[in-house]
Structure 1
Amino acid sequence: MQQFTSENREKWDKPEYWIKICEHLSVKDNSQDAKYETDDAFWSHSKNYKLDLLSKGYALVDQSLPNELIVALREGVEKLVEASYPASFIFLFDETWQLARYSRLLLEDFTSNPFHYDLLSWYIDKGGFSPHRDRQPEHVASSFHPDGEAKFATHWIALTPATTSNSCLYMIPKDHDPGYTKGDEDKKDPLSLALPNKEAFQRIRAMPRDSGQSILFTHRIIHWGSIKDPEATPRAAISFVCSDPSFEKPYVDPTCFTDDQLPPFSIRLLLVCAQLIIYHQRFQLSKSMLKACFEFCKSMEDKLEKTYWHKVVFEFVEAMKEDAQTNELDESEEEEIMELMLKAEQSGYGEYSDDYDEGSNELEGGADAGDDDFSDEEEGTLLFRAASGCDDNNTEGSVENEKDRKRPRTK
């Protein structure tokens, strides 16, 4: 990871650098060629997952995606992690976007929402992650279509077996979750409301998946991952998302990814850099890497959806402020942060303070980023201040609006 700095950008902003790490994968800029052809008949015998999403908030997809493609991506994630890069750099490669074609087919078949670009991959080799929702809009009802279908859904795919020993997902079904549809009550832990007594713990559902199997779930489902057993093999996964634009707009021009073409390499790298900043507390990133990611995003600001770009700026400032608590910033860094804060507040996005809350601080490996002073009840509530959805007016929806830190998907 030491090479991923602003000074070395001429190396890592080119496909050749990444192909040397994952020699078995390909990067053909704006490629129309598919090494793994998408079989449109693959889902022809699928059951109606939409019914499960409506009734439970999740649906188990037992059909396995093409094994050759899954193995190639799993090996790619392992090679990236071995080279000290977060697993999400797997999105630089053609094979990941060929898998995305399968995912898009499934998402658009069983939801009314188009493909989105909130993309993530995980490699869990230590701990798990705490219960949370993926989105916490201020007006929860507005995040559903009139028929009750969610405006945001995730397709989570296991690249390795996900078991009860290595942090498979756990969920609480919609019908046992009081806050799923109506929203969570202020100052009350949503998890304790869903599990009010010992008997209620029987409602928890474990979601073990074999490699290539997957899960569909909505933005409101409570989910988490257990701590991995020391002797268990690491768990790798990848996810794709669909979202109604009235709830959350695509982060980049959606026409960059079609049936005939894959996104150009620069857009793939832009998404990875932006996502690493947005989810900076989930990954153990150096300050130099964060700055390199931000400078790359800033150089391509016009390619990012405006609200999403503001979120990237907001989270970069927060990451730098967190680093300043232990490492003194130099004068140029302080000036840059002040300028970014001023621009964000002048544009009506972001309200910065010195006493921002820590919230949920899981890292990608599962360890906490730091201790906090919240009581158990307060911490339980904060865990559910997940990433905000956007309504038609681009109003950020969370308990404390934009003061509330973005705590998005961690799986």
Structure 2
Amino acid sequence: MQQLTSENREEWEKPEYWNKICEHLSVEDDSQEAKYVSDDAFWSHSQNYKTDLLSKGYALVDQSLPNAIVVALKDGVEKLVEASYPASFIFLFDETWHLARYSRRLLEKSTSNPFHYDLLAWYIDEGGFSPHRDRQPEDVASSFHPDGEAKFATHWIALTPATTSNSCLYMIPKDHDPGYTKGDEDEKDPLSLALPNKEAFQRIRAMPRDSGQSILFTHRIIHWGSIKDPEATPRAAISFVCSDPSFEKPYVDPAYFTDARLPPFSIRLLLVCAQLIIYHQRFQLSKSMLKACFELCKSMEDKLEKTYWHKVAFEYVEAMKEDAQTNELDESEEEEMMELMLKAEQSGYGEYSDDYDEGSNEIENGADAEDDDFSDEEEGALLFRTADGCDDNDTEGSVASEKHRKRQRTK
């Protein structure tokens, strides 16, 4: 299968390109109303989920989502991965949005927050991911409603069995996490504070799930995934999010996804490309695919919420800077980076110049020595902070500062 590049954009911008990869899934006309199957039994425990989210920071959803959709999406993820595409391209298909209807209804019944567009899908065939929180706001208290309910929550759905052998989620409950509500202390490792002694490790909760079962958890819960056993089968999962707009606005117009309509294919593709850029380190995209994704996002910039667009542009520059450590940028790429940096600084989002200059000097000198002076405690703390202070979601990957991200690559 020809890979996604700028040169073949006319092909992959069309639904037919993706239907050839996942022939069992559909991408209907934008205006077609979507089928929705109501199942009152599935929502019957939503009040219990709300209670668990308040007390624990997470809630186990044991009722399974429709098996036919789950199996179809699992097969779709496997076909995408086989074609060398990230699993998140599953969001191009109607069936994913049928599942999103169930997720949205569950999130709205279990929280006070509307549906959001921070969407991700995962296929874990090797490593797990580091302990992290999904959001690190400067004012943690403001990320909760007056009654203590979180303003941001994730619905994580297992498309295959998620076991202790193939990287199920692990969490530390709210009542054993000092930084959950009040925030994390600078230069202190939140994980060490939550697990101060050997006995405290008994507080860790493993979250195995059967296919179709799921977990709700807030933006403040510390969670991670173990490294998959080499003999275990890979696991696939998908996640949807809700967020109060006062905390984080939806990435695209909410009107695209209603009870009567699925998002247009162009918006689905835009969201996937933007998310892949935001999470570029986790997905390890080729430079050609990264550039193709960004060019599409740039051409549809007006469709993205303003802060989110700046975030996408920021992460694209970060990805290009990382690539420049091993591959020389051509003149047009350098000009594009400088233009994006300038626009970001003019809009008050991100400060690149000094960091980029320092990075360039490091590349020329062939050294990265300045990143070798972190203590173990400082490195642990950096996992829970972002480079620019913005709220990065990393549902299955560590959130780190730029210095820490560069150091991780040398290990």
TM-score (norm 2): 0.90
Number of equivalent positions: 384
Question: Is residue 38 of structure 2 the alignment partner of residue 39 of structure 1?
Answer: yes
For residue 40 of structure 2, what is the amino acid of its counterpart? A
Amino acid aligned to 1:401 = G
Matching residue of 2:152? 152
3-state SS of 2:238 partner: strand
Cα distance in 1 for partners of 2:3, 2:87 equals 16
Q: How far apart in 1 are the matches of 2:21 and 2:388?
A: 42
Structure 2 distance, partners of 1:5, 1:183, is: 42
Are the counterparts in 2 of residues 38 and 101 from structure 1 also a CA contact under 8 Å? no
Following the alignment from structure 1 to structure 2, what is the Cα–Cα distance between the partners of residues 91 and 42? 26
Per the alignment, residue 368 of structure 1 pairs with none
1:83 paired residue number: 83
Q: Deviations over 1:203-227 (max 9, x none)?
A: 0000000000000000000000000
Give the letter aligned to residue 298 of structure 1.
Answer: K
Equivalent in the alignment of 2:265:
265
**Counterpart for residue 10 of structure 1:** 10
Q: Which residue of the partner structure matches residue 133 of structure 1?
A: 133
Q: Which residue of structure 1 lines up, in the alignment, with residue 306 of structure 2? A: 306
- DSSP 3-state at the match of 1:51: helix
1:119 equivalenced with 2:123 (yes/no):
no
Counterpart AA for 1:43: F
Which position in structure 2 is the counterpart of 1:409?
Answer: 395
Cα drift, residue 33 of structure 1: 4.2
Unaligned stretches of 5+ in structure 1? Answer: 359-371, 387-398
**Which residue number corresponds to residue 169 of structure 2?**
169
Going from structure 1 to structure 2, the CA distance change for 1:304 and 1:229 (only over 3 Å counts) comes to same
Are the aligned partners of 2:43 and 2:106 in contact in 1 as well (CA < 8 Å)?
Answer: no
Please show how residues 5-404 of structure 1 align to structure 2 within 5 Å.
Answer: 5-34=5-34, 37-47=36-46, 48-353=48-353, 355=355, 373=372, 374-385=374-385, 401=389
SS in 1 for 2:216: strand
Output the CA distance in 2 between the equivalents of 1:407 and 1:211.
24
**Could you report, residue by residue, the CA deviation over 1:135-183 in whole angstroms, capped at 9, with x for unpaired residues?**
0000000000000000000000000000000000000000000000000
Q: 1:198 to 1:81 in 2, by over 3 A?
A: same
Q: Which amino acid aligns with 2:389?
A: N
* Secondary structure, counterpart of 1:113 in structure 2: coil
Distance 1:220 1:353 in 2: 32
The C-alpha deviation readout for 1:72-106, integer Å capped at 9, x for no partner, is 00000000000000000000000000000000000
One-letter identity of the residue aligned with 2:185: E
- Give the Cα separation in 1 of the matches to 2:353 and 2:304: 26
* Distance in 2 between residues matched to 1:291 and 1:144, nearest whole Å: 37
In structure 2, runs of 5+ residues without a counterpart are: 360-370, 398-411
Q: Is the 8 A contact 1:154 1:240 kept in 2?
A: yes
Q: Which letter maps to 1:409? A: T
Letter in 2 for 1:141: A
1:176/1:14 CA distance change after superposition, 3 Å: same
| Corresponding residue SS for 1:21 | coil
SS at match of 1:91: helix
For residues 108 and 393 of structure 2, what CA distance do their matches in structure 1 show? 26
- State the 1:248 CA deviation: 0.2
Farther-moved stretch of structure 1 (40-49 vs 101-110)? 40-49
**What is the Cα deviation at residue 382 of structure 1?**
1.2
| SS of residue in 1 equivalent to 2:11 | helix
Alpha-carbon deviation of 1:407? Answer: 6.0
> In structure 2, what is the equivalent of residue 389 of structure 1?
none
Equivalent pair of 2:159/2:211 in contact (CA under 8 Å): yes
1:385–1:407 Cα contact (<8 Å) kept: no
Give the Cα–Cα distance (whole angstroms) in 2 for the partners of residues 143 and 33 of structure 1. 35
The answer for the alignment partner of 2:400 in structure 1 is none
In structure 1, C-alpha distance between the alignment counterparts of 2:149 and 2:393, rounded to whole Å: 23
State the one-letter code of the partner of 1:71.
V
Matched residue of 1:240: which SS? strand
C-alpha RMSD of matched pairs (Å): 1.8
Determine the structure 1 residue equivalent to 2:407. Answer: none
CA displacement at 1:406 relative to structure 2:
4.1
Q: Give the aligned partner of residue 401 of structure 2.
A: none
Considering fraction of residues, name the structure with more helix. Answer: 2
Q: C-alpha offsets along residues 296-343 of structure 1, whole Å, 9 cap, x if unaligned?
A: 001100000000000000000110011011000000110110011001
CA distance, structure 2, for counterparts of residue 44 and residue 217 of structure 1: 17
Q: Secondary structure at the match of 1:6?
A: coil
- C-alpha distance in 1 between matches for 2:17 and 2:123: 21
Check conservation: 1:70, 1:212, Cα contact below 8 A.
yes
Measured in 2, the distance between the counterparts of 1:46 and 1:70 equals 21
In 2, distance between residues paired with 1:400 and 1:17? Answer: 37
Query: Cα distance 1:219–1:44, how it changes in 2: closer, same or farther (>3 A)?
Result: closer
| Structure-1 separation of matches of 2:43 and 2:286 | 45
Describe the SS at the equivalent of 2:344.
helix
